[in-house]
Amino acid sequence: MPTLDWIGKKAVVNHHREVPYRLVHCDGELSAGDPDAGNLLVQGDNLEALKALLPYYAGKVKCIYIDPPYNTGNEGWVYNDNVASPEIKAWLGKVVGKEAEDLSRHDKWLCMMYPRLRLLREFLREDGVLFASIDANEIANFQLVLEDVFSGCSQIAIPVVNNMKGRNDREYISTCHEYLVMVAKTDFVSHGLPLSQQQKARFKHVDEEGYRYELRDLRKRGGADTRQERPQLWFPVYKHPETNELSLKPRDGWIEIWPMKKDGTEGCWRWGKSRVEKYLSSLIPSYARANDKWNLSYRIYLDVDREESLFEDDPEDYSEDYDDETGEAIERTTKPKSFWWGPELSTDNAGKQLKDIFDGRKPFDYPKPISLVQKIMHMIGDEEALILDSFAGSGTTGQAVLDLNKKDGGNRRFILVEMDEKIASEITAKRLRRVINGYDKGGDPGKPVEGLGGGFRYCRLGTPLFNEFGDIDEAVSFPDLAAHVFFSETGAPLPKKVDGSTPLIGQHKDKIVYLLFSPAEQGFPREAAGNVLTPDALASLPSAPEGFDGERVVYAEGCTVSPERLKAEGVVFKQIPYQIEGA
C-alpha cells in the first residue's frame, strides 16, 4: 500500500493530541432564531475549535462535509487558499519549527490538513461518512493522507462538474470539474438520491388501484450475464398461446420464452426460479416483431411498501428508502453515480444564490451550491443527522440543512466552524440569520423570501481549560470541567449537562464518573471547600446502580482516603489537574 510522506509530517502526526481544550462561549447578539435548535457557528481556528467541541460531539456526527483550501496558490482568494495566511505561518513555525522555512506549499497544506483530519475522524459515528470537495492540485495527496487517517475505510473520488464554461486560468485544457471525495466508515449505508423528473416520467403506467409503475425487462442486459456465466438463471417460462397465463412447467402447445439477448445469444434472467415462481402472476409477456421473440417484464412501482416491491435486490437504477419502525417504503430513490453534473451544481448557480441573499452582491468567491450539500444529505438519509462543516466559508452547509428540514420536516442539525472573524460574523452568520428570518430576494422589497425557521448559536473560543502552569484556569466552571473530565475518562460525550448540584456527572458502560470541584477554591485542596475526597465525601457519593460491578472514578484535587478503603469500595481516585488527559 502506498504511503505519503512530507517535510514536517513527524511534527504533526500527534499534534492533534497537544492542541489545548478551550472553552466555547456563545454570543446572543450574533445568534438568531431558536437558540435550542442545536445548531452552532463557531468562530475560531478550526483545529482548536474541533478540539473544544470534541468532548460534546465525539462519535455523534453522521456526516462531515468540508471544503478546505484547494492550495491553488491564489493569494486573491477570500480564504487565502495557498496556506500562507499569518495564522498558518505562525502555527507552522511553532509546531514544525525551523524546518518549516523550507516547506513547499504542498508540505504546508499537508501539515495543515493532517491534524484536522485526525480530529474529524473522532467525531464520526460508526455509520458516518466524510465528504470533501477538492480539485486537482491536491487530490492525489489528499487521498493518500485520508488512507493514512481513515485506514480501512472505503473511499471514492467523484468528479463534479461545477463550471460548464471551464476555467480559463488553466494551461492546455480548460478545467470544468473538481472532485468530491467520500470516505465511509464501517457501517455507512447510502440511501440514494431523489428521482429526477425525467426518471419519474418513466413510471407512466397506472395499475387498477391507481399506483404508477414502469416495466423492467426481466432479461439481464449486461455483457457478461450469459447462460455460461449464470447457468442457474437460464431456464424457460411457458406462456399460453392465447392468453398471458404463465407457467414454469412444460405445457403442450404453450410458447417457450427463454432469456435471449437482442443479438440472439443465450442470456439469463434477473431472478432465479423460486423468485420467478413467487411473482409469476405479476409478470407481463410481450412480443417483439423485430426479432420474432417473446420477452417478460415486471413492474417497478413509484410508491410501494416492502412486501409489494419486486425490486428489492436489483442493482441498477433504483433503490428504496425504508422507515426503520414501520418497514414501509417511504421513497423510491436512485443510486448515486460516480459522476455528478448539472446546472444546480455549478459555481454560477451558487453565486446567484448568494447574491439573492446579500442584496444583489456576492461577498464570497467560489461558494458551494446548496444542491451539492443536499445531495450528500439525501445519501446519508438520516433526518435527525448531525452534520459538521469545519471549513464553513459562506455557510452553504448551514443553509442546506435548514432548507431541507423545511422541505421534509426533518430535524437535522449543523455545526459550522469558520476561522476568519470577519467572514464568520459578516457573511456566514448574516447569511444564516437572513435565511432563518426571511429576506428580500436580491434586495428587492417586491420579492420577499419566506424564512426557513430554526436557529443557531454564534460561538467564540475562550480560554484553554488549563493555564500555562497546567492548572485549571480560573475561568473554568463546573459544567466545563465535567464535560472534559467525562470525555477524557470514557471517550464519550457527557450524556447530559450537569450543574454541580451532585458530584455524579455520568455513567458510560462499566464506569461511573464523579467530580469534586469548587471553582472558587481551586488550587486550595481544603476539605471544607468540597474539592477533596475524604472518608465522609466518599460515603456521601451517590451509589452505583444495583448490580453494577465496574469502576467508580472520582476526580478531585486531593484524597485522604486510604488505598485499602478505595479498593474495597471499588473506587479509583484521580487527581485534578495532573491526571486529567490534556492537562
472-515 confidence digits (pLDDT tens): 888 888 988 898 889 878 877 788 889 889 999 999 889 999 99
End position of a domain, from candidates 333, 350, 368: 333
What angle do the packed helices 429-437 and 396-408 form, to 10 degrees?
20
Contact 230, 220 (CB under 8 A): yes
336-367 confidence digits (pLDDT tens): 888 888 888 988 999 999 999 999 999 998 89
Residues 6+ apart with CB under 8 A from 173: none
Shared domain for 497 and 537, answered yes or no, is yes
Q: Hey, what's the torsion of the CAs at 150, 155, 161, 163, to 10 degrees?
A: 20
pLDDT of 464 over the 60 cut: yes
Q: What percent of the chain has pLDDT over 70?
A: 87
DSSP 241: S
End position of a domain, from candidates 275, 308, 333: 333
Q: So what's the pLDDT on residue 78?
A: 39
Q: So what's the pLDDT on residue 521?
A: 54
CATH of the domain at 27: 3.40.50.150
pLDDT of 331 over the 50 cut: yes
Q: How confident is the model at residue 14 (pLDDT cuts 50, 70, 90)?
A: confident
The answer to whether position 311 is within a domain reads yes
The C-alpha cell at 79 is 480564504
Shared domain for 372 and 326, answered yes or no, is no
- The rounded mean pLDDT for the chain is 84
What is the helix (H) or strand (E) element at residue 114, kind and residue range?
A: helix 105-123
Shared domain for 356 and 404, answered yes or no, is yes
pLDDT of 235 over the 80 cut: yes
Number of structural domains in the chain: 3
Partners of 41 in beta bridges: 416, 458
Highest mean pLDDT pick, 2-11, 59-68, 97-106: 59-68
CA–chain centroid gap for 186, Å, is: 13
- Residue-number span of the structural domain to which 525 is assigned: 477-575
289-314 confidence digits (pLDDT tens): 877 889 999 888 887 443 344 444 44
Shared domain for 349 and 444, answered yes or no, is yes
Residues 6+ apart with CB under 8 A from 70: 81, 134, 135, 137, 138, 178
Q: So what's the pLDDT on residue 315?
A: 36
Q: So what's the pLDDT on residue 100?
A: 58
pLDDT of 116 over the 80 cut: yes
Shared domain for 448 and 557, answered yes or no, is no
Shared domain for 206 and 342, answered yes or no, is no
Q: How confident is the model at residue 169 (pLDDT cuts 50, 70, 90)?
A: low
Highest mean pLDDT pick, 118-127, 461-470, 485-494: 118-127
The answer to whether position 183 is within a domain reads yes
The C-alpha cell at 173 is 485544457
Look up cell 391507481; give the residue.
Answer: 210
Shared domain for 70 and 17, answered yes or no, is yes
Shared domain for 420 and 492, answered yes or no, is no
CA distance 240 to 257: 11
Shared domain for 392 and 429, answered yes or no, is yes
Q: So what's the pLDDT on residue 189?
A: 86
